[in-house]
Amino acid sequence: MERSSLKCKIGPSILNADLSQLYVESQKLIDNGADYLHLDVMDGTFVPNLTFGHPVVKCLRKKIQNAFFETHMMVQDPEKWIEPMADANVNQYTFHIEPVLQNVLKVCRKVREAGMKVGLALKPDTGIEAVRQYIDHADMILVMTVEPGFGGQKFMGEMMPKVQWLRRNYPLLDIEVDGGVGLNTITSCAEAGANMIVSGTAIINSVDQRAVMASLRETVESSIHKCNV
């Protein structure tokens, strides 16, 4: 993929928000400086929890028409939901490679044909070698810094070598981290080279969402110029 310069993007996860107020909570995050919304979709199979699917995303899109929506598909059969999510006007479809290791390229192609950007997600136990051959077919790589499926988990700093390897070998790749990312852990993410920051609890539960997002952004941007050579 052709890429220009690297930019910091803050994408709050609404997993820990009041889901009965999904639109209000989401709009508030955007008004407070979010660059995109990270929408966690779980099927109860690939991960133990259930969240919401394309009907909810479609309803949210009708209310919020201009924001960038990334769906993080924690599902056993990512191919199944490509068309419904495209129909819901999702901008980026990020799926886990683990359940489709033999068909990653096929799913990438279908996502792109449906008009969405491609994100490839790795669980903590999945090594970088599992995704290496697919990086050129993706717009973004998501390195999970917790086990997917639950909000509020403790950040796994031992995942940072994956981020470092990706940044070293792909200087302009969008690299996302997700799980336990907040004011206490953002420095290690930024220094490793992550530029797309998913943060749930740290933003949602803060008394000043704008200040938290601004602080996360400042930390990332202070590291990012090293990559924009």
pTM value is 0.95
pLDDT tier at 151, thresholds 50, 70, 90: confident
Query: Class of 9-224 per CATH?
Result: alpha beta
Report pLDDT digits (tens) over 117-142: 999 999 999 999 999 999 999 999 99
Give me Rg for the CA atoms of the chain.
Answer: 16
Report pLDDT digits (tens) over 20-63: 999 999 999 999 999 999 999 999 999 999 999 999 999 999 99
Distance between CA atoms of residues 104 and 96, nearest Å: 9
Q: Is the pLDDT of residue 1 over 90?
A: no
Distance between CA atoms of residues 40 and 5, nearest Å: 27
Give the residue from 96, 35, 97 showing the smallest Cα distance to 69. Answer: 35
Q: What pLDDT is recorded for position 228? A: 54
Report pLDDT digits (tens) over 56-108: 999 999 999 999 999 999 999 999 999 999 999 999 999 999 999 999 999 99
Catalytic residue IDs: 40, 178
Distance between CA atoms of residues 44 and 181, nearest Å: 24
Share of the chain above pLDDT 70, in %: 97
Q: Is the pLDDT of residue 229 over 70?
A: no
Helix-then-strand count for the chain, H and E: 8, 8
- Average pLDDT rounded to a whole number, residues 162-185: 97
3-state helix, strand, coil in the chain (%, to 5): 45, 20, 35
Report pLDDT digits (tens) over 186-209: 999 999 999 999 999 999 999 999
Q: What pLDDT is recorded for position 16? A: 84
Q: Is the pLDDT of residue 2 over 50?
A: no
Q: Is the pLDDT of residue 10 over 60?
A: yes
